[in-house]
Structure 1
């Protein structure tokens, strides 16, 4: 039974709204006494059907508030234990799903997932329970523990699989072209992983997918299968041609962001340094001197060096230093790779929303700085020193940084203009 007519509904100005009272003991936690959302229809019959995805999303929030459950997998296990999934029904009065296959179409799922303040782990769990999606993270612990392997090997399997599932929560999300862009932009360019390392990762991902097909009935085509896997390897080996950011595009990116937003500052620093995202987030307060950054050698930086701070961002750097209440220039733990990844995703979604093509990425700021320096006829070895290419295997491989190079680097970086 879907309940009496009009249950969970209100009509306002000829439009129907979904409504749900928040239990009194949770009103302080959720910050409201009731949920309300427009269903954008004046048809009672349609409103009766459209209300359930929204109501169920709110009930998931209430469940989360009551249990304090922040884990997607734990919440999913709880939901699957408590509810009957798919077409077996959901009766809001008795705690069971009551959906037909028609109710689970994307338009109705979209209404549920667009309900206000739905946490990401709730969206993921709801995606599994309500639409039958395959959550890739669900079985990674079981896969990592299979066989007679050492604790170190298990930890390595988990780390590699978590890299995949953090970007692609559902098996349905994994497409070869998206994989190729992610491999090139995020893993190779953003995190500085070697191509051979990424190919080894892909072997583990392929094995996990095949295991899911064999042991857990996954029916989707393996994106790491022989033919597609070869395509992925080829795409990961041949870098995509990145486009540079033009000055008017740079200013457009900034104009749509609040000045206090971390992404606003991140774009400015990247555009005037060409530093990789993780290198920027790894700057400690003690690494920021009056006119230079001290870049430490890390897995994404091949050499330690001093980097001149462009005059255009000196005031910004001073503000960041003044606002910092800890060890790092940016308000994060500089060793937290997930934050750097999330900021990269934030930038990707933001620039896509402005209509910029896939060829324009965060890493394109690095290409933009290099292009401007070359156009300004800066000596190649100075370009190499600025971009950290001054080691064997870099663009020239001729020399390493010495303090005597700093004045030339300082003059060169000022030629970058927007």
Structure 2
């Protein structure tokens, strides 16, 4: 008797077999074909089970042509089994699909462990919803937002999906623990967590509407347990580098032949500017006396910073060698207008390699400058004018035009470094 396509008889049993195109084999662990026992010696039964298995494999091949994500491999299988059961044309086909799915779950337990198998059973048979499987469809609902907002929302929801695999994992206590973890382990402020909750609620609302769940009330600011103390906040705060450490960072960048990063470090060390403030400085903003900060995160940040004597040779070189009108080379591609993003990452790798921890960041150089000014006895209002902080008292903050460029230059001249930073030209 001629066997149908995709059906083979091996020994006393029947197997489903489907060739995998060569272009897709790498995605499927370099297998040449799918093979699965149909768990029967009767051809009639095998022929009824065959379409269910083949349809699932063909769906996988279609998805693999452009959307397969290896990290979602098990979830993909789970969703295919659920789809096979939900779309079975009759009760007999549904029973067969369920039987094959249970066999697959047993193998999953041996391969990935009982917890993974339990999650699979919940999704396949008990209407538990996996979060990751809904991510792509949800992103279609936020395409009207600007690219930066979309990226922020996606990052927040991806983090949520890493912590909650399915809707069965979500309850009042697990949400409280998750929000607490964002503060204590990821070091996010209450303001940042509240913003992230807004993004997460968009996704959870989508899930509730799609599946009839009622999870949205769990994701509120009220469920953010307040555990921070002044001591823990101080411990988590960024801390300044010592002047000698900034010099070592500058020399390390030179040793790596990363001149742009070395130049960025030098500029920060002698101005106290934020990293992106320096990234936005153009040659036209620099004079012999100082540089104008025209783009800052606060109104107080718009200012003129005197040019430290040690920085003048370097600034002359940067102005002369600029190819795009900016003193620091950079790009805003993929970084939502932040030209310094790539340099910031390189600094992060450099300082980590040198043994500095999470509390030392590029912003720590700004704190180094403020520390030197304070230790030199510089007036707090003058320091605020140099680094672009709001004035500490209302009279100067509201009514004063600020320290003169000469006053700021005299104060900033007391900031000093040794080593390669002593003459960073």
TM-score, normalising length: structure 1: 0.54
Residues 256 and 398 (structure 1 numbering): CA distance in 2 closer, same or farther, change over 3 Å?
same
1:255 counterpart (251, 255, 259): 251
Matches within 5 A, 1:9-408: 78-80=66-68, 85-86=73-74, 134=132, 138-139=136-137, 141-144=139-142, 154-155=144-145, 159-163=148-152, 165=154, 171=160, 179-180=182-183, 198=192, 201-211=195-205, 214=208, 229-230=224-225, 240-257=236-253, 258-296=256-294, 298-332=296-330, 337-391=337-391, 397=397, 399-401=399-401, 405-408=404-407
| Mapped contact 2:157–2:203 kept (Cα < 8 A) | no
Gaps of 5+ in 1: 1-22, 24-51, 57-74, 90-99, 106-131, 146-153, 189-194, 217-221
Alpha-carbon separation, structure 2, partners of 1:316 and 1:293: 13
| Mapped contact 1:389–1:395 kept (Cα < 8 A) | no
* Structure 1 residue 289, shift from structure 2 partner: 1.0
1:300-356 Cα shifts (integer Å, max 9, x gaps): 442532211222222222222222112222223579534434433333333223221
Which shifted more, 283-292 or 251-260?
Answer: 251-260
**2:370 match: secondary structure:** helix
**2:141 match: secondary structure:** helix
**1:302 match: secondary structure:** helix
1:261-282 Cα shifts (integer Å, max 9, x gaps): 4222222211221111121111
| Mapped contact 2:197–2:220 kept (Cα < 8 A) | no
**2:325 match: secondary structure:** coil
Alpha-carbon separation, structure 2, partners of 1:246 and 1:357: 14
| Mapped contact 1:205–1:224 kept (Cα < 8 A) | no
Residues 382 and 183 (structure 1 numbering): CA distance in 2 closer, same or farther, change over 3 Å?
farther
Alpha-carbon separation, structure 1, partners of 2:390 and 2:338: 28
**2:304 match: secondary structure:** strand
Residues 308 and 224 (structure 1 numbering): CA distance in 2 closer, same or farther, change over 3 Å?
farther
Alpha-carbon separation, structure 1, partners of 2:386 and 2:134: 40
* Structure 1 residue 409, shift from structure 2 partner: 0.5
Q: CA RMSD in A?
A: 5.1
1:78-121 Cα shifts (integer Å, max 9, x gaps): 142999944999xxxxxxxxxx999999xxxxxxxxxxxxxxxx
Relative to its length, the structure with more helix (as a share) is 2
**Equivalenced residues, count:** 296
Alpha-carbon separation, structure 1, partners of 2:401 and 2:194: 33
**2:358 match: secondary structure:** coil
Alpha-carbon separation, structure 2, partners of 1:140 and 1:395: 51
Alpha-carbon separation, structure 1, partners of 2:345 and 2:145: 25
Residue 115 of structure 1 is matched in structure 2 by: none
Alpha-carbon separation, structure 1, partners of 2:76 and 2:406: 72
Residues 345 and 144 (structure 1 numbering): CA distance in 2 closer, same or farther, change over 3 Å?
same
| Mapped contact 1:259–1:265 kept (Cα < 8 A) | no
Alpha-carbon separation, structure 1, partners of 2:387 and 2:297: 15
Residues 351 and 389 (structure 1 numbering): CA distance in 2 closer, same or farther, change over 3 Å?
same
Residues 234 and 292 (structure 1 numbering): CA distance in 2 closer, same or farther, change over 3 Å?
same
| Mapped contact 1:272–1:413 kept (Cα < 8 A) | yes
Residue 412 of structure 1 is matched in structure 2 by: 411
**1:202 match: secondary structure:** helix
Gaps of 5+ in 2: 1-22, 31-62, 78-107, 114-129, 164-177, 212-216, 418-425
Alpha-carbon separation, structure 2, partners of 1:303 and 1:104: 54
Alpha-carbon separation, structure 1, partners of 2:342 and 2:110: 35
Residues 392 and 173 (structure 1 numbering): CA distance in 2 closer, same or farther, change over 3 Å?
farther
Alpha-carbon separation, structure 2, partners of 1:271 and 1:134: 44
**2:340 match: secondary structure:** helix
**1:331 match: secondary structure:** coil
* Structure 1 residue 373, shift from structure 2 partner: 0.4
* Structure 1 residue 357, shift from structure 2 partner: 2.1
